[in-house]
Amino acid sequence: MSVARIKSTFAMILAFSLSLLFLFGFAYYQILNEVEADAKSAMQYIEHRLDEAVSSVKELDHLPYQKCDMDGQILLRDFFYDHLNSGLFLVRRLEGEAWHYCSMFGSVEFNVEAGLRIKPLLANNEERVLLAMAKYQREGEERYNLFVGYLGDEKISSVRLIKPEKFTFFEDDKRNCRRVEVKLNNGDSVLTIGDYKGRAIENIKTESERYPVHLTSAIAGKRVYDRALELALLFLPIYVLLFWLCGYLIRLVGKARLSMGYRLYQAVRKQELVAFYQPVVDVSTMEIVGAEALIRWVKDDGTVEQPGRFINELEQSELITQVTRSMLQQIPRDLTSILSQARNFRCSVNLVPKHLETDVLADDMERWAKEGYPCSQIALEITERLPLTQLKRAQASIDRLRKLGICIELDDAGTGYGGASYLQELHIDIMKIDKLFVDTLLLPGNRSQVLDAYLQMGQALDLEIIAEGVETQEQSDALLKKGVRFQQGYLFSGPLSARDFVSFWQQRCSGDSCRIFDGIHGRERDAQGIDDSFFEPDDSELRVGRRP
């Protein structure tokens, strides 16, 4: 399995895991909101019951109760019938026996030994109202309930609250995944509803704002799981669609990362696009008079991407301006020893139309020239493979560049869009004959008429001519007979790295000959104003397009 497929599979698994996590997160969010709403409703119910109880015991304090005889029990029974929702009412006079109360059923005795568990709490911020859990004996049976009491001037009145068996939101089929516990603030448990005994994901505590009581609701993991399963079944079609869309987007991103444009962007970022140099030779003297800087993509593992696979993509992208600028900055550093010794040596760089149809390149070169950049040793090649749509703008840029001493070359002459119009309208110094025409020299019969026509045109326009793609000695000799002494091709050398090219140049030079040859065009170019310090490496400069 390829690395790309492994990454894609991992991304799909990650997307699936994230979608499941989102599903459970949404289910948990729903359960949390539901539990909080239920707890709020339950607390409102409890507070309502306590409000009724407090109101009832205050009324009970005004009842003309004297003692727990038949009249007293009837009095309490009648009071109960008028307050059916309150609970069992108890009363005793202050001078009566402690822990002995009267109810409509007769005497009620609180367990004195359990009296320590009676922890009265003030309710509703009233000093005379008490709230407590207490044990008591009735009819020989011990019971444990919540009481609301009121301390009057002559009597102690109390009501035993009826425990609710369930809340309205507790469906019978959900008791195994819900639990609600009501406690007083002193820790005494009032009641627990629900059979869930497992470990809760979270416990939600809801406190009363008026009474010393709080409610704890448990969020069970089973409840969240069940809700997530319900959501998954409910939204299964949408979920499948979203999962497919997520996978599709991941594949698109993967393809984009594998696209040439993205790979070129990464190559520029990692400084993998470097300049290789192919020599231009004066075959009449066999001196190296110049070079063409060619982009090569050298990867981290040492492999080299074939230029035909990325050059067109690079030329049509926005990266070309950045890469060309970097190459122009790098030439004086790569060829320091050559440029400083042979002032007429010239290195050329290929341009695309956008370089000449905007002011960016000319502005850069003018600024660098003031800093000592060796403009007179640079040539810029205009290719016919891409059309110039704004000839006037291009001509203006060329004029600015030529004033700096930069030589302008026409590359791929006769193979593209410009043809004779470029030679006529643009100020061209050198015409480069494409390999396509050089190859016609060895074809049977006289097949070099087009080549001869371009050579005559170049001579008529007083242009220097360089022949590209020279691969055999026969081609070189035939070109020399036609007056083409500047040649470039694999007969002499293929593109070399900067270090190899400098070594190649030094091996071909002998004595002082490398210092005195005239170079291409045979003209002396003004080398004054060139600052030798510009040849020294400067780590502060932009190094995009070149690896250290």
Task: Assess whether 286 and 388 both reside in one domain.
Answer: yes
Task: Assess whether 180 and 110 both reside in one domain.
Answer: yes
Flag whether 445 is in a domain.
yes
Flag whether 171 is in a domain.
yes
Flag whether 339 is in a domain.
yes
Place of tokens 């002499």: 492
Q: Residue 101 in contact with residue 90, Cβ under 8 Å? A: yes
Which of 186, 220, 237 is the C-terminal boundary of a domain?
237
- What pLDDT does residue 468 have? 93
Q: Range of 223's domain?
A: 1-237
- What pLDDT does residue 535 have? 43
Flag whether 285 is in a domain.
yes
Residue 518 CA to residue 501 CA, distance in Å, equals: 20
- Domain count across the chain: 2
Flag whether 18 is in a domain.
yes
Flag whether 292 is in a domain.
yes
206-209 long-range contacts (CB < 8 A, ≥24 apart) are 206/36, 206/39, 206/40, 206/42, 206/43, 207/43, 208/43, 208/46, 208/47
Which of 237, 264, 299 is the C-terminal boundary of a domain?
237
Flag whether 530 is in a domain.
no
What's 392's domain CATH number?
Answer: 3.20.20.450
Task: Assess whether 202 and 94 both reside in one domain.
Answer: yes
Task: Assess whether 328 and 216 both reside in one domain.
Answer: no
Which of 237, 264, 294 is the C-terminal boundary of a domain?
237
Task: Assess whether 284 and 233 both reside in one domain.
Answer: no
Task: Assess whether 226 and 356 both reside in one domain.
Answer: no
Q: Identify any residues that bridge with 179 across adjacent strands, giving them in sequence order.
A: 218
Nearest to 322 by CA among 394, 268, 400: 268
Residue 427 CA to residue 363 CA, distance in Å, equals: 19
Task: Assess whether 187 and 305 both reside in one domain.
Answer: no
Flag whether 177 is in a domain.
yes
Residue 42 CA to residue 249 CA, distance in Å, equals: 47
Task: Assess whether 367 and 477 both reside in one domain.
Answer: yes
- What pLDDT does residue 384 have? 72
- What pLDDT does residue 251 have? 63
- What pLDDT does residue 494 have? 92
pLDDT tens digit at each of 548 positions of the chain: 455 566 666 666 776 677 778 888 888 888 888 888 888 888 888 888 888 888 999 999 999 999 899 989 999 999 998 888 778 899 999 888 887 889 888 888 876 554 444 556 666 667 788 888 887 766 667 778 888 989 888 999 999 887 776 665 555 555 567 788 899 888 888 888 877 766 778 888 999 988 889 998 888 787 888 888 887 777 667 666 766 676 666 666 555 545 677 777 888 888 888 899 999 999 998 999 999 999 888 888 878 888 777 777 777 777 888 888 888 999 999 999 999 888 889 999 998 888 888 888 999 999 999 999 999 999 999 887 777 778 888 889 999 999 999 999 988 776 766 566 777 778 889 999 888 889 888 887 677 888 888 888 888 888 899 999 999 999 999 999 999 999 999 999 999 999 999 999 988 875 445 544 445 654 433 333 344 444 444 433 333 333 33
Task: Assess whether 195 and 336 both reside in one domain.
Answer: no
Q: What is the pTM of this model?
A: 0.53
Task: Assess whether 280 and 184 both reside in one domain.
Answer: no
Residue 475 CA to residue 473 CA, distance in Å, equals: 5
Task: Assess whether 197 and 327 both reside in one domain.
Answer: no
- What pLDDT does residue 527 have? 36
**What does the DSSP 8-state code read for residue 344?**
T
Task: Assess whether 232 and 284 both reside in one domain.
Answer: no
